[in-house]
Amino acid sequence: MSNPNLSRRGAILAVAAMLSTSSNLAFAATDSDEKLNLMSVTKDPGCGCCGAWADLAIEAGFEVETTETGDYVGMKRDAAVPENLWSCHTTRIGGYIVEGHVPFAAIRQLLEQRLDITGIAVPGMPAGSPGMGGGVEATAEVIAWGGIAGDGRAFPLGG
């Protein structure tokens, strides 16, 4: 015969365990959401336009950590950026790669849509893009690659 007090105690412990787990998940989700705003920018130590882009990113509301390296090719290969999309700096944010002088509106859109792609890029260093003479609201042609974008498609991805 079962003991009703033991069953009640077991139920209370089970509920407490579930609450503890869901509470931890809530903290993890909050921490993860905050990290979506963190950009890890890797750039050449002597590149002024990369620094200008990072400063604009801060102005646009992103948190920025900068790492400098003299290994340009290694930086691109470590991030698996296709060679035809290379620019001067490589950024990691929210599980994506952002290559070059990508407009901040495109980065926000990428983070909101959570698309199955590797990243977005503005190849080269086009004049007027953010950090290349353009400000926080500057635009440029953006290319997505990896996942559903394949080897490269215009971003945002259209139907």
Q: pLDDT digits over 98-125, tens only? A: 999 999 999 999 999 999 999 999 999 9
Mean pLDDT of 44-50: 91
Least confident of 6-15, 82-91, 116-125: 6-15
What does the block give as tokens for 139?
């635009």
30 falls in which pLDDT band (50, 70, 90)? very low
pLDDT at 158: 65
Q: Which residues contact 5 (CB under 8 A, 6 or more apart)?
A: none
Q: Which of 43, 26, 135, 155 is nearest to 88 (CA)?
A: 43
**Distance in angstroms (rounded) separating the CA atoms of residues 126 and 134:** 10
